[in-house]
Amino acid sequence: MGYVIGTPEVVTHLNRLRAPFNVGSPGQVAARAALGDQAHLRATVEATIRDRERLGAALRASGLRVAPSQANFVLVDVEQPGRAVYEALLRDGIIVRPMTPPLDTWLRVTIGLPQQNERFLDSLRRVLRESRA
């Protein structure tokens, strides 16, 4: 969550560079309330850490390299052009981020809810299996 204050020219330029997903007013109100709720914040951080470790372990068990992470995402080396894997996952409704050289075989995967992480893993396994066939 964040905001910018600046001249119209600066804001217009920054708007061209912003991430594709904006946070609307209701989301901003909810985020502010969530950040004020320490028990909720602590539970969310703990769930993210737990699910990040589970996702990383599942990816490693599939034979993939996973970079160490302290964030709400993992980087996984899919050992082939990441952009192609990204596009195949996107056709399945899975949104990840392909990396650029020299990490162009890696994907950035945000930690989701457990069922979202499982859906990603199932789709990734299928995509990788099909690309090797």
Q: Has residue 57 got a pLDDT over 90? A: yes
Query: Tell me: the pLDDT tens digits for 1-31?
Result: 666 788 999 888 888 877 766 777 888 888 8
User: DSSP code of 104?
Assistant: T
Predicted structure pTM score: 0.76
Per-residue pLDDT band at 61 (split at 50, 70, 90): very high
| Total residues belonging to the chain | 133
d(CA 82, CA 72): 20
Per-residue pLDDT band at 133 (split at 50, 70, 90): confident
Q: What is the pLDDT of residue 113?
A: 95
Q: What is the pLDDT of residue 58?
A: 98
Average pLDDT, the chain: 92
Domain ranges across the chain: 1-36, 47-132
Average pLDDT score over residue span 89-112:
96
Fold of 47-132: Aspartate Aminotransferase, domain 1 (3.90.1150)
